[in-house]
Amino acid sequence: MRRIVLFLILTCVSVFSVFIAGCGKPKIESGWLSRKIDIDGKLEDWHGELAYYNKDMRVSVGAANDDTFLYVCLVTRN
C-alpha cells in the first residue's frame, strides 16, 4: 500500500512540475495540514486548500504537507 501511495505522490509531483514549468511562474505554497487528507481521488478533503487556479486551462492546484509527505491536488475540468 505504501508503494502505491508513494507512486501516486511522485506521479502527481511530476505532473505538477511539468504543469508549472509550462505556465509562467505562479507561486504555490504548501502549508501544514489542517485536517487529514485521504488519498482516494475525492476532492472533499481539499475544500478551501486549492491555492492556484488557471482560468484559461481550467486547472486548480493545491499543496499541503505533514512531517512525512507532501500532498498535491491537481483538478481539471478540461
pLDDT of 65 strictly over 60: yes
Residues 6+ apart with CB under 8 A from 43: 73, 75
Residues 6+ apart with CB under 8 A from 3: none
Q: Which DSSP state fits 18?
A: H
More confident residue, 65 or 16: 65
Task: Return the C-alpha cell found at 3.
Answer: 508503494
How many structural domains compose the chain?
1
Q: In angstroms, rounded to a whole number, what is the distance separating the alpha carbons of residues 37 and 34?
A: 9
The domain of 32 spans 2-76
Q: Which DSSP state fits 34?
A: S
pLDDT in tens, 9-45: 777 676 666 566 555 666 777 778 877 888 888 888 8
